[in-house]
Amino acid sequence: MKYSQEQPATLGELKESGWESISVKEELRKNLINKLRSGEELFPGILGFDKTVLPQIQHALFSKHDIILLGLRGQAKTRILRMLVYFLDEYIPIVKGSDINDDPLNPLSKYAKELIEEQGDDTPIRWLHRSFRYGEKLATPDTTVADLIGDIDPIKAAAQKLTLADQNVINFGLIPRTNRGIFVINELPDLQPRIQVALLNIMQERDIQIRGFNVRIPLDVSMAFSANPEDYTNRGSIITPLKDRIDSQIITHYPHNIETAISITEQEAWQQRDNEAEVVVPDVCREIIEHVAFEARKSEYVDQKSGVSTRMTITALEQVVSSAERRAIVNGEKRTTVRIADIYHMVPALTGKMELVYEGEQEGAINVAKHILGKAIGKILKKYFEDPQRKTTEEKSAYKTITDWFANGNEVKISDTLSNQEYKKVLGKVKGLQSLIEKYIQDCDTDEQSLWMDLVLEALHQNSMLSKQDLDDQRLYSDMLGSMFSSFGDMGEEGYEDFR
């Protein structure tokens, strides 16, 4: 129901209006049906779940079920649960002053019952917006029954001069205060088992019991939970009786394809800055960033049970844009295009979001991140150009002019802070590089063309066709064979004997 200035202000006026009470789950079901009939978007901003998760949530709401979203970190579980509030009526009437959103036609608390008995149809009511009908608690080991359900409040008893046997001394917890609404517990396995037991009556009998009182309060609340499968073994578990009382378990997942992943990152990342410098992010850079996540999710160095959050690619894109922005400001340029150097500057966004297995820890987080990034760049090369690993002479020839140029003793040093003009000049001297880009990549401006040239050099290194040295804020590309012989020479006579 929508609110207007003419809405009933007393119990009598509410009765005359013909307003009828329905349960919160019936309300969710009714509004879902209305939204489906009107063609309204149900979960705006949630991408990649249209054929999997979202239909299952709708089925659960149709069935009046309590639900749990089960999935690895960064799969939009909390965001989805918070959107359930939009399936509630915009406003509902409650007894004014009630702590538990008492329905004026079906009061539950002693306060509301006494007030209605005393004032009858003159009982004041107020209209509660749906945003106040959503409660949420992050499960932590220090969460208590009093936090969720409630307890006796001796301070209230003393202040109001009531005995501890009076129901009005009850201090209701978070769940009763969300009566006639939706209550969510995130990371449910982190809740201690004895606290989970306190939820059993709410889930099945739909009531709460406060210690010290021989009274039960039948709540009208829709319960929802989120959990990470990893938590089941690492931090805790969901007790079997509670799991049995949760009607629908819905499994979330990461994006199934690069296109969806790009759309999610594009939607969530902060890219529109304060116009100090315009940063152009070509589509191929977005592909590389998403391929990093896909490679990480199957890497032998990364703990797959922990997952690789979609937050990783969001923060990675922001780091990439910031790197390019900084370079443009340093060079006094108003516009710049993302480069490979900027892509590698997203490493700090990767290292903190990948849980490594033992082998990964031995390699080191930075090395693992660079390794995964290199594999992503290598995949992009094979998508847009000929595969350098194929041994046919015809396909090798695509890069032969470039590798021959390096074999003749030439090298390229690319600084992270080169101006746009210097960047193009350095890449332009590599024989055969520009013509390769012109052959395979159509309709790109000179700035993006330079990015592709840079990408080819890095990808050839990833395919062991060029040598690369990272020198602080510079990359030095040279001939692979010449670099090997040079390293042997640096070993000296004794080192050469050891090598043999």
What confidence tens digit (pLDDT) does each residue in 204-239 have?
887 887 766 666 788 999 999 999 987 555 556 899
Helix (H) or strand (E) holding 489: helix 480-499
Report d(CA 139, CA 228) in Å as an integer. 12
SS3 at position 214: coil
Listing DSSP states for 343-396 in one string gives: HHTTHHHHHTT--B-HHHHHH-HHHHHHHHHHHHHHHHHHHHS--TT---HHHH
Query: Where exactly does CATH 3.40.50.300 map onto the chain?
Result: 11-251
User: CA nearest 209: which of 178, 181, 167?
Assistant: 167
Largest CA distance in the chain: 103
Can you give the pLDDT at residue 499?
34
Report d(CA 334, CA 354) in Å as an integer. 35
SS3 at position 128: strand
pLDDT at 361 over 60: yes
Average per-residue pLDDT for the chain: 89
Residue 278: how many CA atoms within 13 Å on its side-chain side? 5
Options 1.10.8, 2.60.120, 1.10.3470, 1.10.10; which CATH number does 388-500 get? 1.10.10
Its CATH class, for the domain covering 11-251, is alpha beta
> Can you tell me the mean pLDDT for 443-449?
91
Report d(CA 422, CA 110) in Å as an integer. 78
pLDDT at 382 over 80: yes
List the structure tokens of 171: 């201090």
Listing DSSP states for 429-477 in one string gives: TSTTHHHHHHHH--S--HHHHHHHHHHHHHHHHHTTSEEEEEETTEEEE
> Can you tell me the mean pLDDT for 318-323?
96
> Can you tell me the mean pLDDT for 435-456?
94
Can you give the pLDDT at residue 295?
96
Helix (H) or strand (E) holding 183: strand 181-186
pLDDT tier at 152 (50, 70, 90 boundaries)?
A: confident
Report d(CA 53, CA 36) in Å as an integer. 16
CB-based burial of residue 338 (10 Å sphere; 0-12 exposed, 13-18 middle, 19+ buried)?
buried
Can you give the pLDDT at residue 495?
44
Question: H-type helices in 76-133, by residue range?
Answer: 77-83, 110-119
Look at the domain 255-384 and name its fold.
Answer: Helicase, Ruva Protein; domain 3 (1.10.8)
pLDDT at 394 over 60: no
Can you give the pLDDT at residue 488?
42
What digits encode the pLDDT tens for the residues 118-149?
999 999 999 999 999 999 999 988 899 989 99
Partnered with residue 458 across adjacent β-strands are none
Per this entry, what is the length of the chain?
500
pTM of the model: 0.88
Report d(CA 149, CA 135) in Å as an integer. 13
Q: Give the distance, in angstroms, between the CA of residue 26 and the centroid of all CA atoms in the same chain.
A: 30
Cβ atoms of 136 and 181 within 8 Å: the answer is no
Report d(CA 344, CA 319) in Å as an integer. 9
Report d(CA 169, CA 153) in Å as an integer. 6
Distances (CA, A) of 123 to 4, 5, 102, 110, 435: 19, 18, 12, 14, 83
Minimum mean pLDDT range among 23-32, 375-384, 485-494: 485-494
Beta strand 335-337 with 278-280: parallel, antiparallel or unpaired?
A: parallel
> Can you tell me the mean pLDDT for 316-331?
96
pLDDT tier at 171 (50, 70, 90 boundaries)?
A: confident
Query: Where exactly does CATH 1.10.10 map onto the chain?
Result: 388-500
List the structure tokens of 443: 């309709």
SS3 at position 279: strand
pLDDT at 494 over 70: no
Can you give the pLDDT at residue 27?
97
List the structure tokens of 377: 């760049």
Listing DSSP states for 285-337 in one string gives: HHHHHHHHHHHHTT-TTB-TTT---THHHHHHHHHHHHHHHHHHHHTT-SEEE
Q: Give the distance, in angstroms, between the CA of residue 91 and the centroid of all CA atoms in the same chain.
A: 30
> Can you tell me the mean pLDDT for 433-444?
92
Minimum mean pLDDT range among 63-72, 300-309, 382-391: 382-391
What digits encode the pLDDT tens for the residues 64-117?
999 999 999 999 999 999 999 999 999 999 999 999 999 999 999 889 999 999
Can you give the pLDDT at residue 496?
37
Can you give the pLDDT at residue 276?
79
Sheet holding 474-479, edge to edge: 412-415, 474-479, 466-471
Can you give the pLDDT at residue 398?
84
pLDDT tier at 156 (50, 70, 90 boundaries)?
A: confident
Question: H-type helices in 5-143, by residue range?
Answer: 11-17, 24-38, 53-62, 77-83, 110-119
> Can you tell me the mean pLDDT for 469-477?
90
At 33, the amino acid letter reads I
